[in-house]
Every structure is written in structure tokens, then in C-alpha cells.
Amino acid sequence: MNNRWSIICIMMIFALILSACGGVKTTPQVSQETVSVEQSIEEEAANPTPAPADTPIPEGPRVLKVAATANITTWDPVKSFSTEALYMGNFYEGLIRINPPSASERFTPLLAEKWDVSEDGLVWTFYLREGVKFHDGELLTAEAVKKSIEAAKDHGGASFIWLPLGSIDVVDDLTVKFNLTYAAPLDLIAASLYGAWIVSPKALDAAAQDDQYFEAGIEAGTGPYMLESYEPDKEVLMTRFDDYWGGWDDVKHFDKVLITITPEAVQQQQMLESGEVDLALSIPLENMEQFKNKPGVTFYEEPSLYNYVGFFNTLRKPLDDPKVRKALSYAIPYNDIIKIGGQGYGIQSRGPVPAGVWPYSEEVPQYTYDLTKAKELLAEAGYPDGGFELTLTYAAENQAEERLAPLIKDSFAEIGVTVNIEAIQFNQQWEKAKADPANAQDIFLLLYWPTYSDAGTDNLYSMFHSSEVPFFNLSYWKDEEFDKKIDEAAALTVTDPKKSQQLYTEAMTRLVDQAPGFFLYDVTAVFTFPDYIKGYQYNMNYPFTTFFYPMYTE
Amino acid sequence: MAIKESISNIQSLDTPPQSRRTLVHIAQVILRDPLALLSTIIIIVFFFVAVFAYQLAPFPEQGAGKSNPATAMLDPSPEHPIGTDRLGRDMLSRIIIASRPALVVPIVVVFLAVIIGAPLGAIAGYKGGWLDEVIMRITDLFLAFPFLLLAMSIATALGRGLDKAAIALIVSWWPWYTRLTRSIAASLSQRYFVMAARSIGVRDSVIILRHILPNCISPILVQATIDLGLVILAMGGLAFLGLGTQPPAPDWGLMVSDGRTFIFKQWWLSTYPGLAIFIVVLAFNLLGDTLRDVFDPRQYR
């Protein structure tokens, strides 16, 4: 009996402490106002934990501490096609890098100093930088570039990006020529975050002998940082490469970068607020608001490559009727979806190409939220009161989809359409969609991004071009006019960009009109940086990495 | 003569320990113990809330899952005493409606676990021998895994959904009742009243049904009461991981999970559903303890 009472007492005390903590947190302004000056000084003295904003980086090796979700699925730069891009982007470099849309130049030369393309867009010549060293001491040569790209094309994780590539010629030590089988924007491909790293030939030879060569934590790039040590699922320590061709003199770069792998976003926020890390790369979207006007912190709201797309199953009644699909497109509460799904950080999409990415166009129309129109169109199609059921699948691990799927369900209910939501793991959702399209879901929600910055050959082709076996075209839509237009447009990307853009715009307009899918919103990337870290520049083309080299402190 | 004597001896020494204590007696014990009284009141309120959930909830539609974007993430106010969630649904209504699955599922799970587990345990304990070995080794197989881990693996294999989570819990729960029943049945099978029944040729099935199982009821009842609370906790755990109730249906565990990213600012989103789990689980535990006191003869010697 006594025992039980004491347990209850302990629990009560615990509950009291918890509620007290909560109370203080919710009313910080009130408590600050009521605390006298003396008290607050005392508090500061008693509380030696420095606020993150005014922590100067001490002399000695400058270490940047980062919390990130990124795990390492492979250390092999050729196979890499996942979250390890965060690290790869600092160990390795490609020939060139694509700049954010706001920059005056479209590309930054990295390992290639300059490049040119033949009139017909079929021959691309890259002139390499002289004296670039790999981390293992090898020198950058045309031969090394040929070897890296051939490996990527042969067995890379993103080998498909090199599809247009016919052969590579080594002209001399520092000149390399790419011969394409059809005209394609090779500059964009060479700037890809996946399957385009230039790797030391010595390491590639070793990897050819032993498939698992890199997995011991070996990297052999030319990038500014080297891998010093790592613990799986725990942390990665990078240290600067002294012989980096970009040099280390002009500003106070970071000597080391310590990345703590932290899958839980709330925990990252907590680490940032306690000063444990300088940067947290994924803070819960819901909590970003509080960083907006925080002193000592810069708040970024930038366009991104991501967008949310839904696919209607066009093989099934009644979704085989474009009128029904249009009606449903009018019944999607776009603004509420951005407000709640994206926590306000997004803009309504114009077709499947996100703003800022080629071939995005302002001329592509959008649907508005208009239930009257939706009902009219449904009546025209022979469903005056709706009266049909649809199954919607989404990836349960995606927080935004979890928030927005119920909004679609509730809105469709207003026009008499019942939606059954199925939240399943992405790979299950994916398998279900591919198994037998006729029996698959009716609506498939997807977060999409292009592998490299060409949404014409990626987003438009992958998601809506007809194909015998569906890959990403999960509306199973087949439309000759659309196919013809984007095939033509893709072939003209390099030689006649204007005409290509026009064709793409026409194709997207037809796409929106036929509505095989619906286009929710382009994701706005939001993140914060402390003001004492300078030199950072956001680049929407590389959403899976952060380049640490340009950052410095004063 | 001798037989008659011994039979009368047996009767005086060994009456079947079947529960003769009535509801009145249980009520007396509960009334005597303030903690038991409190837990009983909590459970009665919980039952009441669950049964009349749709009448009690201020916004029953939102409670059941209808979104209302206009009122998303409101702080507590007279209209929404504990605020609204990110889809604009009244949190109080959500918690009230969620008491339904929290009541029904544990009852179903525990009931089925008892139905499966107890007879197996009674057979194993009464018959002994190879049958006992087989049944008990099978239960060992299940008990070798940590309980929640087993439930999680089964739920993952079956897919998401409340029904699947319930099946997973039944599958991983029944062996506990087999064990419990077996230990009682094994000792009962050596008692004179069972031996007497056997000696006059009563069939085994009848002995198990009429003599063994009825005498196992009170410990099972005690265990089941405590387990009702534990199942609510386990359900919450599975739902937290996304394996139980599927949104937009309300569930306490799911609500704790949904609110956890807001824990720094809107702490009430996770705290109140968590508190609901805490109170109900504690109440079932205390009631189970009380029932144990009632049924445990040692306390009343």
C-alpha cells in the first residue's frame, strides 16, 4: 500500500515539474519583463552556457559543427545516388558546377577551366585546370576524367544521365572531348550531383579489383575536404586538404567540419539552440517561424528543386475521362495545402516543372480552387453528385503528405467523391503502383525532384511521357501530342533553346489541360544560418549537399 | 467405510477454491481503499466518455478527422480548451473520440488473448507430458522476443492499420495467459477434488471445463485488468510509430507522435493525449492491484 502511494507521489511531482517547464516556455516574454535587471544578471552569471549567436569560434583549428540527417549508403563516388551526397559534394568535384538562377554566370568552372560545344551540339570539349591534385597524390589528367565518366556511365548509381554519351576522346593531357549520339545539354549533365564526380584513377583501378574498396571509408577526390574519420550512423569528421587547388589563404575557412548524424529533426533544433552545433540542416518545418526574426540569425526562404505532384490513374473509370480529372483538379484546396502541408513555405506549381528550373514557364496555366466549377464539370461528365470512390496512396514517412492528404479527402467529399487514404512506406507505395496499373491506386502523391537541373528530360519525360513499362509515369497516361512535343523540344535544348522552350511550354499547357496529374506546390527551402558564419551561398541545384568550403568566420 | 472416511476428509481439507466472493464483496474492498475507488471512478468516467464520445465532443466531426484549415494551430481558448492541431481540429474532441478505440481495442485484444491462451494453458497444465512440452515450447518461442518488438515486427509485416495492430498484439499476448493458466492448472490437477473427479471417470474435457478453468478465472481476471492498461500503452506505442491507427482517425499515441515536433512551443499538443494514456493506464493498474487483493486469500486469513 505504502509502495503504491509513493509511486503516485513521484509521478505527481514529475507531472508538476513537466507542466512547470511547459508554462515557462510558453510565456517567455512575460517572464522576461517581470524579471528585474539584477536578477537577469545573476541568471546570466549562473548560466555559463553561451548563446549560440555570440559564440566566437576560438583560435586554433576552426571546427564547424553541423547536425544533419544524411546517412552514408555507400562511400563509392561512382555508385553514390543517395543522402551521402552531403559528404561527396565536399570530397569530390565535377568538371563544372551550375550556379543558382540569380547568378550572372550560369556555371562555375571547377576542374574544367573552360569548355565549348560544336554547332550541332554533338561534340563537347572540356579544357582542364592544370596542377590539380587528388587526395591520394595523383594528378588530374584527361585520362582520369575519361576513366571516371566511363565508370559512371557503366555502373554508376545515376548512369542514365550519360545516355546521350557515345565516346570520350583524350585530345591531350588536359583536353577531353565528349562525342554524343544526340544533342543534349552536357554542361548540365556534367554538373550533376550524382554520377559526375571525377575520381582518382588509382582508386578507380582499386575499385575495379575490389567492389567494396571505397566502403572502408576511402575517398579519392579533388575537393577541399578529406575524410578524416567516421562512425556509421553517428558522425563524420572532415579535414581540409592542404593542396586544394582553390587555396586556403584569402579568408578564414574552416579547418575541420564535424557532422553529427541526427535523424530526428527536433533533436537537431535542440542541439542548435543549446549551442552544441553551429548549423542544423533539418529543423522541423513547423518550428521555422521562430527563427524568422531571431537576432544573430539569418533566415533563408529560397526556391528549391522539389515539388509535390499527384497522379490520377488514367486507366481506370471514371478517371479515364479528362473532364473528371479536370473537375478533381478544381476541387483541390491549393492554398490550404500550402498553408498546412508546406507550413506556408511553397508556391502553387505551374505544371510539373518547379519555378527556377529549365524549362519552367510562367505561361503554363494553373487550376484554382473552385468547387462550383468542379461540380459543373462532374455533371457534364455524367457524375452530377460524384458518387464514386478513389484510393489515394502517399509515403507515410513524408510529413507534408501526411498533413495534406486529409485536406484532399475532405475537399473531394464536398463534391461527393469519397477518398480512401492509404499511408504506406514509399517502397510499398511504389511497388503497388508498378505491379498492375489497372488494379493500382487511383491517386498517387509524390515528392519529386530532377536528378540534374534539366526538368525537361527529367520531370516532363519521366513523369508524363508514355512508356510500355511505367517508371515514374504513374498516371499511366499516353498522349501522342505531348510525347511528340517534348521529344522535339529535348532535341533542340542545346541548338535552339528558344524554340525548345516554346515547345515545352505548349506541351505543359496541354498537360495541365488534360490533367493526368495535379500539381500541388513547389517547395520553398527554409533554413537558418548564424550570422557569424559568412560566405554561404544557397544553390537550389544541389539540394542534397552543402558546400562548406566557401564558409568562413571573421 | 475407509473410502467414505477419506472422502469426507478430503472435503474438509480441500474444498474447491472457486471464487465465492460476490460483487458486493469487491465493492466493499474498493470502497474501503481510496486509491481503488479513485481508479474505479476514472475507469467508469473513461467508459462513459467512450460510449458517449460523439455526444460529449464539442466538434465531433473534427474529432473523427475532418480537417478545418481555417483554425489550424490555435492556442488554447474557451472555444478550444486545449487548442487545435495542425489540420485545425479541436484537440479536446480528438482526445474524446480517441477514447473509443482506446477502450474497444484493449478489450478485444485481451479477450481474444485469454480465449486462445487460457484453454491451451489449462490443457498443458492438466494433461502434462508431451502435450505440455509442445505447448510450452511454442509459448517459449513467442516469449523469447521482447513483447513490443514482436508486436512491432508482426504489425510491420501485416501492414498499417488498427485491425492489424490488434492482431499483432493478440499474437504476441496470448502466451502470457497460457503460462499463467498452466501454472495454476498444474497445481490444481494434483488437488483432491480434481483427482476425485478423475477417479469417478469424468472425461478430461469436462474436468478442464468444469473444474480447472473456473478456478483459473480470478488470477486471469486480475491479470487481464492490468493488461487492459498495458494494451492501451502498447497501442499507443504502435500508433506512435505509424503502425496502429491510421490518420485521419484519432488515436492518443498518434497524437503524441504528431505533436512531438511542436514540443518546444505548443507543448499541449503532445502532453494532453499523453496524459490521457497515463491516467487510464494507471487506473487499470491500480484496479488490477485491488482485484488481486480481493482474490488473494492470503490477505484475508
Chain B residues inside the 8 Å CB shell of A396: 160, 242
Which residues fall within 8 angstroms of residue A283, CB to CB, at 6 or more apart? Answer: A265, A268, A269, A272, A291, A527, A528
Distance (Å, whole) CA A68 – CA B201? 73
pLDDT 10s digits, B233-261: 999 899 888 888 887 889 999 899 888 88
Distance (Å, whole) CA A445 – CA A449? 13
* Domain termination site, one of A234, A269, A293: A293
pLDDT of residue A324: 96
pLDDT of residue A446: 93
Among A406, A306, A387, CA closest to A347: A306
User: Are β-strands A418-424 and A165-172 bridged in parallel, bridged antiparallel, or unpaired?
Assistant: unpaired
Residue A192 has pLDDT above 50, yes or no: yes
Cβ neighbour number for residue A183 with a 10 Å cutoff: 19
Cell 481474444 identifies what position?
B112
Chain A residues inside the 8 Å CB shell of B240: none
**Mean per-residue pLDDT for B187-191?**
89
Chain B residues inside the 8 Å CB shell of A410: 66-67
Residue A490, CA distances (Å) to A162, A449, A456, A466, A516 in order: 15, 18, 7, 15, 21
What is the grid cell recorded at A485? 512535343
Inter-chain residue contact A423 with B160, CB threshold 8 Å = yes
End-to-end CA distance of chain B: give it in Å, rounded.
33
Q: Is residue A551 part of a domain?
A: no
Cβ neighbour number for residue B89 with a 10 Å cutoff: 26
pLDDT of residue A238: 96
**DSSP letter assigned to residue A276:** S
Nearest-by-Cβ selection for B271 from A22, A270, A407: A22
CB of A46 closer than 8 Å to CB of A210: no
Residue A315, CA distances (Å) to A312, A318, A436 in order: 9, 9, 11
CB of B126 closer than 8 Å to CB of B212: yes
Inter-chain residue contact A4 with B286, CB threshold 8 Å = yes
Residue B9 has pLDDT above 60, yes or no: no
* Domain termination site, one of A267, A293, A319: A293
Distance (Å, whole) CA A133 – CA A422? 52
Least CA distance to B76: which residue of chain A? A26
Q: Is residue A544 part of a domain?
A: no
Among A358, A364, A343, A342, CA closest to A305: A358
Distance between B157 CA and the closest CA of chain A, angstroms? 12
Distance (Å, whole) CA B212 – CA A376? 69
pLDDT of residue A29: 35
Least CA distance to A339: which residue of chain B? B69
Inter-chain residue contact A269 with B247, CB threshold 8 Å = no
Cβ neighbour number for residue A32 with a 10 Å cutoff: 9
Q: Report which secondary-structure segment, H or E, holds A318.
A: none
Residue B1 has pLDDT above 70, yes or no: no
Chain A residues inside the 8 Å CB shell of B291: none
pLDDT of residue A37: 36
Chain B residues inside the 8 Å CB shell of A339: 69, 72
pLDDT 10s digits, B47-100: 999 999 999 999 999 988 888 888 888 889 999 999 999 888 999 999 999 999
Distance (Å, whole) CA A515 – CA A329? 7
**DSSP letter assigned to residue A57:** P
Q: Is A322 found in the same domain as A246? A: no
pLDDT of residue A203: 95
Distance (Å, whole) CA A381 – CA A510? 19
Confidence of residue A178 (pLDDT cuts 50, 70, 90): very high
Residue A512 sits in a domain whose CATH number is: 3.10.105.10
Inter-chain residue contact A340 with B72, CB threshold 8 Å = yes
Calculate the average pLDDT of chain B.
87
CATH hierarchy code of domain B20-60+85-295? 1.10.3720.10
Among A6, A291, A407, most B C-beta atoms within 10 A, so best to mutate, is: A407
Least CA distance to B88: which residue of chain A? A340
Residue B274 has pLDDT above 60, yes or no: yes
pLDDT 10s digits, A365-393: 999 999 999 999 999 999 999 999 999 99
pLDDT of residue B26: 79
What are the counts of helices (DSSP H) followed by strands (DSSP E) for chain B?
A: 14, 0
Q: Is A234 found in the same domain as A118? A: yes
Least CA distance to B65: which residue of chain A? A406
Q: Reduced to 3 states, what is the DSSP secondary structure of residue A66?
A: strand
Residue A39 has pLDDT above 90, yes or no: no
* Domain termination site, one of A233, A264, A293: A293
Residue A2 has pLDDT above 50, yes or no: no
Residue A124 has pLDDT above 70, yes or no: yes
- A260 or A289, which is more confident? A260
Q: Is A41 found in the same domain as A190? A: yes
Confidence of residue A401 (pLDDT cuts 50, 70, 90): very high
Q: Is A158 found in the same domain as A82? A: yes
Inter-chain residue contact B67 with A406, CB threshold 8 Å = yes
User: Are β-strands A346-348 and A279-280 bridged in parallel, bridged antiparallel, or unpaired?
Assistant: unpaired
CA torsion B115-B119-B121-B127 (nearest 10°) is -170
**Mean per-residue pLDDT for B202-224?**
90
CB of B182 closer than 8 Å to CB of B174: no
Side-by-side strand order, sheet with A418-424? A346-348, A517-530, A297-312, A443-448, A389-395, A418-424
User: Are β-strands A123-128 and A112-117 bridged in parallel, bridged antiparallel, or unpaired?
Assistant: antiparallel
pLDDT of residue A315: 92
Q: Is residue A376 part of a domain?
A: yes
Residue A24 has pLDDT above 80, yes or no: no
Maximum alpha-carbon separation in chain A? 91
CB of B270 closer than 8 Å to CB of B256: yes
**Mean per-residue pLDDT for A126-138?**
95
Cβ neighbour number for residue A125 with a 10 Å cutoff: 16
Residue B172 has pLDDT above 70, yes or no: yes
End-to-end CA distance of chain A: give it in Å, rounded.
65
Inter-chain residue contact B261 with A410, CB threshold 8 Å = no
Among A127, A401, A426, CA closest to A285: A401
pLDDT of residue B260: 83
Q: Is residue A224 part of a domain?
A: yes
Inter-chain residue contact B69 with A340, CB threshold 8 Å = yes
Distance between A337 CA and the closest CA of chain B, angstroms? 9
What is the grid cell recorded at B88? 485545425
What is the grid cell recorded at A387? 458518387
**Mean per-residue pLDDT for B290-294?**
84
Confidence of residue A518 (pLDDT cuts 50, 70, 90): very high
CB of A484 closer than 8 Å to CB of A510: no
Q: Is A307 found in the same domain as A256? A: no
Q: Is A152 found in the same domain as A40? A: yes
Distance (Å, whole) CA A345 – CA A336? 12
CB of A261 closer than 8 Å to CB of A35: no
Least CA distance to B160: which residue of chain A? A424
Domain residue ranges in chain B: 20-60+85-295
| Identity of the highest mean pLDDT range in A23-27, A283-287, A355-359, B273-277 | B273-277
User: Are β-strands A235-240 and A256-261 bridged in parallel, bridged antiparallel, or unpaired?
Assistant: antiparallel
Inter-chain residue contact A286 with B260, CB threshold 8 Å = no
Distance between B197 CA and the closest CA of chain A, angstroms? 40
Total count of domains within chain A: 2
Distance between A348 CA and the closest CA of chain B, angstroms? 17
Residue A46, CA distances (Å) to A37, A125, B207 in order: 14, 64, 73
Inter-chain residue contact A290 with B265, CB threshold 8 Å = yes
Q: Is A73 found in the same domain as A213? A: yes
**Mean per-residue pLDDT for A297-309?**
92
Calculate the average pLDDT of chain A.
87
- A355 or B293, which is more confident? A355
Q: Which residues of A touch B (CB under 8 A)?
A: 4-5, 8, 11, 15, 18-19, 22, 25-26, 265-266, 269-270, 284, 286-287, 290, 333, 336, 339-340, 396, 402-403, 405-407, 409-410, 421, 423-424, 428
Residue B177 has pLDDT above 60, yes or no: yes
Confidence of residue A41 (pLDDT cuts 50, 70, 90): very low
Q: Is residue A250 part of a domain?
A: yes
A322: buried, middle or exposed (CB in 10 Å: 19+, 13-18, 0-12)?
A: middle
Inter-chain residue contact B267 with A421, CB threshold 8 Å = no
Q: Is A339 found in the same domain as A235? A: no
What residue numbers bound the domain in which A116 lies? 3-49+57-293
Distance (Å, whole) CA A168 – CA A515? 41
Among B32, B67, B71, B287, most A C-beta atoms within 10 A, so best to mutate, is: B67
**Strand spans (E) along A313-417:** 346-348, 389-395
Distance (Å, whole) CA A138 – CA A202? 8
Q: What angle do CA B39, B41, B45 make, to 5 degrees?
A: 115
Among A410, A428, A431, most B C-beta atoms within 10 A, so best to mutate, is: A410
Q: Is A329 found in the same domain as A430? A: yes
Which residues fall within 8 angstroms of residue A419, CB to CB, at 6 or more apart? Answer: A389, A390, A391, A392, A408, A409, A412, A413, A443
Q: What is the DSSP string of A457-494?
A: IIIIHHHHS--SS-SS-TT----HHHHHHHHHHHHHTT
Least CA distance to A399: which residue of chain B? B258
Inter-chain residue contact B262 with A286, CB threshold 8 Å = yes
User: Are β-strands A346-348 and A517-530 bridged in parallel, bridged antiparallel, or unpaired?
Assistant: antiparallel
What are the residue ranges of helices labelled H in A394-453? 399-414, 426-435
Distance (Å, whole) CA A28 – CA A22? 11
Q: Is A343 found in the same domain as A279? A: no
Distance (Å, whole) CA B41 – CA B47? 10
